[in-house]
Structure formats: structure tokens, C-alpha cells
Structure 1
């Protein structure tokens, strides 16, 4: 006779003790155990317990599309502190998530530890080792000589990282944090608690999180869509074995990802025709994405992030070059077509989906060929900020895997607009500024160092910055303009619009005019220098 592990969400919430350290598996709405998080908030409102929880989120739980995630428990008294790789974000016009209000008001201490390092910390806690020694995060906001991952004044007095000397080299040390409760999500649980993920868009890190809790005597709660009879799941389909799972919460209506109840191509059950993917309209953002695509080389494995660069896979589809590079994203998809907007973090038609912790090992070690990322600010040293703007904190999501990805990437292409708020038109193969942006993005010193230009130069990383006006590269002497787009004046539109002096290459080139017409550009993917 198998004792049932199935309990209600409210019963699961009531099992969480006061002062617990709770780790949650999620990536926005992807894999978010939202029903269980909602129950914790509900039970707290009714009973005053559990209280003073420390929450660990390797990737954000919840989003601005209707999956509240962490906002269910962003209540004074319930939430004591939070450590996350990323946080829910949204447009500046939207009401800030409750978690951002608590952070901004210093109601709780909050930290932003890079996502890959957070998974590493779970693995170290599971093996009862002291913590993570890494060079990932040196000279970024994670470095204690800058912010030490602290997101507000309430966190500044509680260090979560230190600089150490190990065999004559400088490293960062993140002490392991031992979780006492894990809340994870899957598609199916059998009666023994074995978990399969057949309708999920990624595995994320539930195995690592469950191991950290189980090995330290805690409680593992799994939220699933459905229950099946013991022995009916194929062993290779089980990604979290039942010996690690204490309780099961059934939530039949859990969404696959943001604004997506269920799409089988995301979970690899079918393959979408390429002509079903929307191609970006011809505008300045598409021009930037086209220019980024010119830097790619057939056969590369290319990481991709949020922003303009997320459109580059659609450029390859438009140019009949899909499959010439393999896209790899931090949530775990390898190959296929990375999705956009609220589905970002998932891919359709993926060749493989690996657990996020292993994907981050791949990134941290620099095993891939190139990364395409965005920027909020660039400074005189070539450093980039994507993780925090004090004027609009809830618009950013924290760093996520950005720091892990950029730490040793061989090549990085950052893309975005030179100034924020500028308006453009494209006429006769040239760009015209209709309205200049009011906020400069090339600043003397970035507010938050998400990527260190100094370390990039020291490590010999190849760094490009692609904007609508010009292409720049990072050199030992600083940021240098190497290419100008047709229609722009070098002095008026570029040099005067930067808060720091830009170098100008002696052989300054002009961006190929074919990018500025609606017709296809004849993309070759030879990775050659273009001008």
C-alpha cells in the first residue's frame, strides 16, 4: 500500500515553519509553482504563519503578465529576506510589483546573486561543502568592493560574498546557504513522488534544489498538473526521483510559461513550421538585429539574451539561414527558435533542453562561441549595466544569468539604442533622427556594473557594441567607434551624444547600406568584418 503524498496547497503552506529558508524553482512564469506560493500568502493572512521566511530564487518567480509568484508572499512579517538571481519586472508605466516596493522601502534586505552562482550554492549546500569559490562576478556589482550583491541599504550590512586569496589568485567566495524547504514544479507525479516534465518549457534547477533540502533534513514540496499510477513513468523521463519528494500539490491549471497555458512546441512535443514564426517588421530595431547577425559565423553556438538581440534568430529565419548557428539560453534550451516577449526563456523546436545548473556551467566556463546581449548603460571603461537603474528599479529584473554568461564569453555583442527615447525614420537607405533621445546611455560611469570592461580587456574578450548610429569595440585604450551608419553625423550624433570621449578608428567604415532597405540582405554568416 503506497501512502499518498498528495496534500492541498494550503496544507503544504501550513507545513512551512517560521524562519524557514525556502528555495523556489521558477523562471518568471516558466515552471512557477504559483498555486503553492499563493497558498503561503493565504495561510499567512489567516494564521500569521509562516513568518520571517528567507526566500531563495535562482531565477525570478512571477512576472507582470498575471502570474504573481513572489508577490503572493511579498508581505510584511511573512517575508524576512530575499536572495534572488532575478526579480519580476515590467514596463515603467505599470504598477511596480509588491516585491519591488518592499525592496525600495527597505522593508526587507534583498540581494541579487547571479543565477548560475545561486545554483552552485545549492549544489555546495547539498554536498555539505562550505560554499562557492569563483571568479564569476569579479569587478561587477557582485564584488563586495562594489555592492556585494546588495540591492538596498537593509542588505548592505549583511555580506553574502567576500574576496579571498586562493593560491595567489583573487577569487570571490559565496558561502553556501542551507535551505530547509524546496518548492518545485513538474508536469506529472506518480504515486511515489517521481516527477516528469513533459509539458514544461525547461527543467530549471529543481533537482539541485531538492537535493540541497533533502540532504539537510528539510521538506520538498512539488506542484504538478496531474498524478499517475506508480511505475508508469519511464525511468529516463523522471528528473526528480520520488525519494526526494515529501509532498505533492496538484494544480491542474498551471501555465506553461508567461501568457501561455500550453504550447507543445515549447516542450518539444511537436515542431513548428518555420513560416509560423513572425518576422520582425522593417524598422530601426530590425536594422540593428541585422547588423548583429553580420558578426555571426556558421557552426557557432550562440547565447542570446533579452532585448533587440532576441530578434536575431528571426533574422536568420528571414534570410533562410536558420540552423546555421545553435542558440543556447540560460533556462536550458539548446537549438530551435528562442521565443520573444512574455515567452522569453523558452524555445520552440529545441534540439535539447538541459537543466539550468548545467547550462550555467557551460556558460561560466566559456564553452560557447558568442553571446548577444543588451545594455542599459555603457561607460568609459566599456563596462555595461543591465541590472539596475535607481530611477526605474522595477523596470529591470536584476542580472539573472548575465554575469555568469559574460564572465568568460569569448565574444560578446551588446546591442541597443545609443540614447533612450530617440525616434527615427528610415528613408532611401539612411536613418534620420526625428527626435533626439533625452537620456544618454553612454555615461562616464555606469550605475551598476553588470559586465566589467576592465576584466574583459585583461582576459582578451572580443567586445562589440552595436547601435542604430554606429558600431563600437572595446580596446585597451577605451571604447572606439569603428563603423558609422548612413545618415548620421559623427560629431553631432555620436561623439557629442556620449558623456565620455569616444575614440574613432583611423579606418572608420560605413555600415552596409543593404541593411536599410526592406528587402532581404543576403546574409552569409561568414563572421567577417563588414563595412
Structure 2
């Protein structure tokens, strides 16, 4: 199983029955494919869709119906399509129980940086998008990211080095190696990948963290 699918499968276990949840650009869009059986959740996309399902088949997809990343999605009974103004009215109005966001960095204070990669002096890409609204409007923020970058450096920081999307707003951090909750006193390790030890996780994590008394194996179902 590829790392990004692993993260999406684990993230989907955070969905609760009856919630309204936004799936952000990038890795979070695939969470729609792994909603647990028996869980009825109303998924929202910032480009203007409410109540949708996973990726359609080649025979059934419609290129005009897509998620925030431009990938095809499945409309289900009761789905609604509208403009982005309406979508952001829902988000800014505090109507989202949660949002799942990709991240470039997160840190032990619950800060998240997910919009600004430096491409030149004082120039960043790709741009803020809807992330600023989402972290301010959603009641729960789940950050999804690979544990380290291509150079093997931790993306779970003591302090974010990139411009922040939101300060102190992350509730849960999910990587392919571990799951952390963000508590007032810092990060708490609650799950780690099979075969890993706490010391293994410390060796790849810049941030300080404590370990939950009932720390368990990384769940996929």
C-alpha cells in the first residue's frame, strides 16, 4: 500500500456519523474513497459540492463534476452543486464539523503551514486557496502529510519554518508513520506503524511529544 493511500485510509477513520466535513486539496480528496461502512457523512468541497462519494469508474465519470483538486467525484442522492461563494459561506459561517487538510509542515503547538513553498526571494507558490477560511471556520482540523520530506527531514516541527496557514488550530496529525493528537501541553503519540517503536518515531520527528498510555498500532480499519 502506498504511503498516501495509507494516510487517507487512516484519516477516514476520523469521520463520524452525521458530520459535515470539508476535504481539502491534495491528499485529503482521496478520503472520500475510504469512508467506513455504516458511517454517513456529508462531504463538502470548496469549489461547490455538498454530499458526494468516491472516485467514479471510467464508464460513469463526468468531467464536469470534480472535487477541489479537479478529480472526478460521484454524486449521490441528495447531492447539491453550487458556486464557490455558497461553499465559502458554509465554511466561514462555521457549518463544517471538520476539515481534512494536506500540510507542508505542522508543529508541536498545533500550527499548520500548507500553502507557501518558496520559489524565489519573497515569492511563494501555490498560494493560500481556501485553507485560511477552512482552519478558521471548521470545528476540527485534521492534518495529513508525509512524516518527512524528500531529504529525510521531519515535517513535524518544533516550530513551523514556512508561513502559517493557521496558528494553534490543528487537532490531529496523521502521517504514514504515526498519529498524534494536539493537546494544550503539546503532541501526544497515539498510534504508530506496525513494527515501529517509540524511539523509531522520535528519530524521525523534530517535535517534542509524549506517549499516550494506551498507544496502539496504526489503524487502517
Instruction: Say if 2:19 is the partner of 1:311.
Output: no
1:405 deviates by 1.0
The reply on whether 1:508 has 2:215 as its aligned counterpart is yes
Aligned residue number for residue 468 of structure 1: 176
The reply on whether 1:420 has 2:128 as its aligned counterpart is no
Distance 1:444 1:320, change over 3 A: closer
Determine the structure 1 residue equivalent to 2:167. 452
Mapping 1:124-273, distance limit 5 Å: none
CA distance in 2 between counterparts of 1:482 and 1:305 reads 24
Name the structure 2 match of 1:485: 193
Structure 2 partner of 1:360: 88
CA distance in 2, matches of 1:341, 1:485: 29
| TM-score normalised per structure 2 | 0.82
What does residue 70 of structure 2 align with?
A: 343
Which 4+ stretches in 1 moved above 3 angstroms? 337-342, 391-396
What is the CA distance between 1:365 and its match in structure 2? 2.3
Structure 2 regions of 5+ residues with no counterpart?
Answer: 55-65
For these two proteins, the number of residue pairs brought into alignment is 206
Alignment of 1:405 onto 2:124: no
Assess, with a 3 A threshold, how the Cα gap between structure 1 residues 397 and 482 changes in structure 2: closer, same or farther. same
Change (3 A) 1:418 1:385: same
Which protein is richer in strand relative to its size? 2
Equivalences for residues 106-121 of structure 1 within 5 A: none
- Pick from 5, 18, 21 the counterpart of residue 302 of structure 1: 21
Instruction: Indicate if the aligned counterparts of 2:147 and 2:177 stay in contact, CA closer than 8 A.
Output: yes
CA shift, 1:408, in A, is: 3.1
In structure 2, C-alpha distance between the alignment counterparts of 1:293 and 1:438, rounded to whole Å? 26
Q: Which residue of 2 aligns with 1:443?
A: 157
Contact kept, 8 Å, 1:465 with 1:471, in 2: the verdict is yes
Query: Are 1:386 and 1:396, in contact at CA under 8 Å, matched by a contact in 2?
Result: no
- Per-residue deviation, 1:391: 5.3
- Deviations along 1:317-346, one digit per CA (max 9) or x if unpaired, are xx666x8211111111112236469624x7
Confirm or deny: 8 A CA contact 1:307 1:416 kept in the other structure: no
Secondary structure in 2 matching 1:407: helix
3-state SS of 2:138 partner:
coil
User: For 2:43, what is the secondary structure of its paired residue?
Assistant: strand
Q: Please, which runs of 5 or more residues in structure 1 have no aligned partner? A: 1-281, 422-436, 457-461, 516-520, 522-531
Task: Using the TM superposition, give the Cα deviation of residue 497 of structure 1 relative to its aligned residue in structure 2, in angstroms.
Answer: 1.9
Cα distance in 2 for partners of 1:364, 1:340 equals 19
CA shift digits 1:204-261 (9 cap, x unpaired)? xxxxxxxxxxxxxxxxxxxxxxxxxxxxxxxxxxxxxxxxxxxxxxxxxxxxxxxxxx
Corresponding residue SS for 1:399: coil
Asked if the contact 2:46/2:68 (under 8 Å) is kept, the reply is no
Partner of 1:53: none
- Choose 468-477 or 329-338, whichever is displaced more: 329-338
* Structure with the higher fraction of residues in helix conformation: 1
Determine helix, strand or coil for the equivalent of 2:117: coil
Tell me the equivalent position of 1:330: 46
Q: Larger relative contact order (C-alpha < 8 A, sep ≥ 6)? A: 2
1:395 deviates by 8.4
Please tell me whether the aligned partners of residues 386 and 398 of structure 1 are also in contact (alpha carbons under 8 angstroms).
no
Aligned equivalents of 2:216, 2:165: Cα separation in 1: 29
Larger radius of gyration: 1
CA 1:340–1:331 in structure 2 vs 1: closer, same or farther (change >3 Å)? closer
> Contact 1:333–1:347 (CA<8 Å) still a contact in 2?
no
Calculate the aligned-residue CA RMSD, in Å.
Answer: 2.6
Q: SS of the residue aligned with 1:349?
A: strand
Cα distance change, pair 391–480 in 1 and its aligned pair in 2 (3 A): farther
Give the Å deviation of 1:358: 2.4
C-alpha spacing 1:328/1:495, structure 2 compared with 1 (3 Å): same
Deviation at 1:360, TM superposition (A): 1.2
- Per the alignment, residue 110 of structure 1 pairs with none
Cα deviation for residue 507 of structure 1 reads: 2.5
Given that 2:118 and 2:124 are in contact with CA atoms closer than 8 Å, whether structure 1 keeps it comes out as no
Indicate how the Cα distance of structure 1 residues 488 and 475 shifts in structure 2: closer, same or farther if over 3 A, else same.
Answer: same
Provide TM-score, normalisation by structure 1: 0.36
